[in-house]
Chain A
Amino acid sequence: MSTIHIPPSPFNPSDLTLITQGAEALVYKTTFLTPSTPTALKIRPPKTYRHASLDARLTRARILAEARVLVRCAREGVRVPAVLGADWEKGWLALEWIAGRTVRHALDGWLKAHGDDVGSSEGLEVKGLMGRMGKAIAQLHGVGVVHGDLTTSNVMVESEEGLEGDVVVIDFGLAVMSVQEEDRAVDLYVLERAFVSTHPQAEGLFGEVLRVYADGYKGAKGVVKKLDEVRQRGRKKSMLG
């Protein structure tokens, strides 16, 4: 971005380390509540092209929507980053820092080292990871949450090496509350397309995500069936080519 971003109060730029910069929000690493609590600070900067009142209204609604979805997941016992603090007037959200790597990163590393073993016994590790992803997404859908932007960059695995470790879905900036089969199927479709285009070697293993997902909650099997329909339709909601 060419405009330098000044964080809203009470934050000072010197206390923040920029991690990612999306169209919607900037994510910084910092501490929150104690000097030893690592935190992901998500800031939605004002958009100058919008009428000020519309911008404030949207920022407020989006910070709140994300916070509410995360708290709902917490209440339902679904593991997601915890909400530590929020200020929807100023446009920021402080979330539990999930240590580890994205599934994208972890899988890339593993495939580089073991690419040819995907079908073998060592490939069981990948299969295990896929299954845990399927289970995590099923848990979200099972409590009425649709993520809205599932990619392998939005799922973390809590380990520094290899593919073992808990799977935690992150970045709920586009999440909505929905129990519609269509919405859930599209969630899976987006992930499938993302998976296939970023990890073509492991394409065949995506089925494991769906297999475990299908047993994840009542109605999951129907969603996997619906996914077929969504695939036939092709692009109506996918964002990848």
Chain B
Amino acid sequence: MIALGLEGSANKLGIGIISHPSPTAEPHVLANLRHTYNSPPGTGFLPKDTALHHRAYFVRLVKRALYQAHLTPADVDVICYTRGPGMGACLTSVAIAARTLAALWDKPMVGVNHCVGHIEMGRAITGAQNPVVLYVSGGNTQVIAYAKHRYRIFGEALDIAVGNCIDRVARALRIPNDPAPGYNVEMMARKAVKRRGKEGELVELPYAVKGMDCSFSGILSAVEALVGQLATGEDDERKDRLKFSDGVLVTPDDICHSLQETIYAMLVEITERAMAHVGATEVLVVGGVGCNERLQEMMGMMAVDRGGTVFATDERFCIDNGIMIAHAGLVAYETGVQVSIEESDCTQRFRTDEVHIGWRDKDG
């Protein structure tokens, strides 16, 4: 069976085509295209402009995807789209486009939960059997474990998602959004490590883990408050600039480093708690923030200390994409899930644990 997957819940428009030769065989990625809407440095992307972007690029990406996959609309069995969660205007634009295709081509539709898409794609790509999942992106931060046909949320960010925190730090520091603010923050953190060493002094930032949950608005506020005191570079001569205890000037690179060390430690901690609670040894990291190599490294160290393994995907799959929607949609479709055009809705709030995971065994 072949599924077309349509994703646009945030600023990435993803169109993917996947093939399941049989329910038990490995899925084939036939096309995986994406176009990202980036706003200028110092700004964040707004729903209206983002939806406009998705509408502008939709048709050409679908056409290109079909071309790459050497398929015609007739070959597609089901149209899968992101039902939610995400930004209202963006979700609606893609949903309308999905309905249009379904009407034009007379195909069934499946609405997919964005998080479930990330999880199912991660499992398929990495082969992780029954991992604890850390799903981290601009819009979501959840620690998830599967039980009895549900992806249960064990821990989450109580205020803003970790990716949102990183994006807003980037905005405050006027770091470019292209290709992704988080990517640029990661590069700057590496520069700081190069300059001061891995164990170089950190700027002390708030660490907020509460039980199985965490929160990021505190660290965001703390960074925003420091922005005005940062040195532009090592040669900044102003007397009032923030310095480390050894007198060295604190630059935006150093803030990126300290930010990462702190927020990633928080994520690893809540993940470890969930793992200890359910007795898991595998951890799967998905979502845009999951691309970050430092996060993967830290998660790996924690997993090894517990005698376990960390699984992660590369940027093709951890960043929002259409393939994950096609794959998750198709596995659901294969168990009889589908919606008519009239029933196909979308919703900004759509919790991961609301979805019935019928394609997995009750016990894993």
Is B211 in contact with A3, judged by CB distance below 8 angstroms?
A: no
Chain A residue at minimal CB-CB distance from B298: A49
Q: Which of A47, A52, A53, A57 contacts B302 (CB 8 A)?
A: A47
Given A1-B305, A2-B306, residue A51 in contact with residue B202 (CB < 8 A): yes
Which residues does A use to contact B, with CB under 8 Å? 1-3, 22-24, 47-54, 57-58, 148-149, 174, 176, 235-237, 239, 241
Query: Distance in Å from the Cβ of A88 to the closest Cβ of chain B?
Result: 16
- Determine whether the beta carbon of A237 is less than 8 Å from that of B212: yes
B96: CB under 8 A from chain A? no
A228 to chain B, nearest CB (A): 21
Interface residues of B (CB under 8 A from A): 145, 147-148, 150, 152-156, 158, 199, 201-202, 204, 207, 210-213, 261-262, 265, 268-269, 272-277, 297-299, 301-302, 304-307, 353
A212 to B305, CA, bound (A): 43
CA A24 – CA B268 in complex, angstroms? 12
One of B156, B199, B211, B353 near A52 (C-beta < 8 A): B199
User: Taking the nearest CB of chain A, how far is it from the CB of B280, in angstroms?
Assistant: 11
| A241 pairs with B202, CB closer than 8 A | no
Which of the listed residues A24, A47, A57 has the most CB atoms from chain B within 10 Å of its own CB?
A47
Taking the closest CB of chain B, its distance from the CB of A26, in whole angstroms, is 12
Q: B299 — nearest CB in chain A belongs to which residue?
A: A49
A53/B276 contact (C-beta < 8 A), A2-B304, A2-B306, A235-B153 known? no
Q: Please measure, in the bound complex, the distance between the C-alpha atom of A105 and the C-alpha atom of B273, giving whole angstroms.
A: 22
Taking each of A22, A52, A57, A235, which has the highest tally of chain B beta carbons within 10 Å of its own beta carbon? A235
Residue ID in chain A nearest B275 by CB atoms? A23
User: Considering the chains assembled together, what is the distance between the CA atoms of A64 and B277 in angstroms?
Assistant: 24
Closest A residue by C-beta to B303? A49
Chain A residue nearest to B150 in the complex (CB): A241
- Taking A53-B199, A239-B274 as known contacts, 8 extra A-B pairs with beta carbons closer than 8 A to each other, sorted by chain A number, are A1-B307, A23-B272, A47-B265, A48-B305, A49-B265, A49-B301, A54-B261, A235-B153
Instruction: Decide if A241 touches B272 in the complex (CB within 8 Å).
Output: no
The reply to whether B212 and A49 contact each other, CB–CB distance below 8 Å, is no
